Amino acid sequence: MAVGIFDSGLGGLTVLEAVSKRLPDVPFVYFGDNAHAPYGVRDAEDVYQLTTSAVARMWEEGCDLVILACNTASAAALRRMQESWVPTNKRVLGVFVPLIEAMTERQWGDNSPPREVAVQHVALFATPATVSSRAFQRELAFRAIGVDVEAQACGGVVDAIEDGDLILAEALVRSHVDALKRKMPHPEAAILGCTHYPLMEEIFADALGPEVKVYSQANLVAESLADYLGRHPKMVGEGQNSVFLTTGNPRVVSNRATQFLRRKIEFVSA
């Protein structure tokens, strides 16, 4: 009865922690494509091929439902996968929609026409590939009107986090926030559109200031997944064991994951 959690690297561990706490009886298969991280500088076709390969591997582990806990994969590959690749007995879901639903105060599955919402000025921090895809703006437009979104491509942040250089990551975050504020001086809300970024959430919040509400994805995805499995219990696959898979060096990835989560994590080769 396993559910898959996929990310290009370690960022999806923030989602894994949240969903594990929310659904303690469900085993999760985590796949980190560390050998090819970061995805945020790759083109859409490359991201699609890497993501489908990883998801197929997770199906082998008994996961009928896989969460793309990678915003770049959700932006560049998810729609194509759902339309032409995912078989009818499987599901692949992304991480954008739960966040947008929270920001626009919608319940899951509310497909009513777009309407005006309280938040009018939104800062989006994401990878270059996610920003160029405009997937966030497209999903938001289905639900809200009149929202001004200013996107900031945060080059280098994921690389620094994956390398364990949190001092560099902090400096880059502050630089990107400064760049965003030059374009949008007074955002009302900020979206951390990469699952690596919650590891730097306090830095984002400090740089943005107390008047800006910061939306991070992990807990929102956890609640959305719990709701989805409550309505679709058969989508919990046949897998019985939690496992951490990586395309990278298992020892190095395990050490970094242990550092991030502050508990022992053991990755094996995918």
149: Cβ contacts below 8 Å, ≥ 6 apart: 122, 123, 124, 136, 137, 140
Adjacent-strand bridge partners of 152: 125
Phi and psi at 33, nearest 5°, equal: -85, 60
Q: Taking residues 27-53, report their average pLDDT.
A: 94
- Output the CA–CA distances (angstroms, integers) from residue 235 to 45, 59, 230, in the order listed: 28, 12, 10
Burial 147-171 (b: 16+ CB within 10 A, else e): bebbbbbbbbbbbbbbeeebeebbe
Nearest one of 197, 221, 216, 200 to 69, comparing CA atoms: 221
Q: In this predicted model, what pLDDT tens digit does every residue of 209-222 receive, in sequence order?
A: 999 999 988 888 99
Average model confidence (pLDDT) across the chain: 92
Q: In this predicted model, what pLDDT tens digit does every residue of 170-202 receive, in sequence order?
A: 999 999 999 999 999 999 999 999 988 988 999
Q: In this predicted model, what pLDDT tens digit does every residue of 51-89 receive, in sequence order?
A: 999 999 999 999 999 999 998 999 999 999 999 999 999
Select the more confidently predicted residue: 241 or 243: 243
Residue 132 has pLDDT above 80, yes or no: yes
Set 81, 92, 100, 194: catalytic member: 194
pLDDT at 105: 86
pLDDT at 173: 98
Percent of the chain's residues with pLDDT above 90: 72
Set 70, 153, 218, 236: catalytic member: 70
Domains in the chain, CATH or no CATH each: 2-94+218-269 (3.40.50.1860), 97-215 (3.40.50.1860)
Nearest one of 131, 133, 136, 106 to 118, comparing CA atoms: 106
Whether residue 70 lies in the annotated active site: yes
pLDDT at 165: 92
Instruction: Give the dihedral sign, CA 96/97/100/102.
Output: negative
109: left (phi over 0), alpha (psi -120 to 50) or beta: left
Q: In this predicted model, what pLDDT tens digit does every residue of 6-19 receive, in sequence order?
A: 999 999 999 999 99
Whether residue 194 lies in the annotated active site: yes
Q: Taking residues 225-239, report their average pLDDT.
A: 84
Count other C-beta atoms under 10 Å from residue 106's C-beta. 17
Strand bridging mode 28-32 / 63-68:
unpaired
**CA dihedral angle for residue 19, residue 124, residue 74, residue 12, rounded to 10 degrees:** -40
Structure pTM? 0.87
> Locate tokens 């979104």: which residue?
149
- Residue 237: pLDDT band with limits 50, 70, 90: low
Task: State the Rg of the chain over Cα.
Answer: 18
Q: Taking residues 216-233, report their average pLDDT.
A: 89
pLDDT at 125: 97
Q: Taking residues 235-240, report their average pLDDT.
A: 75
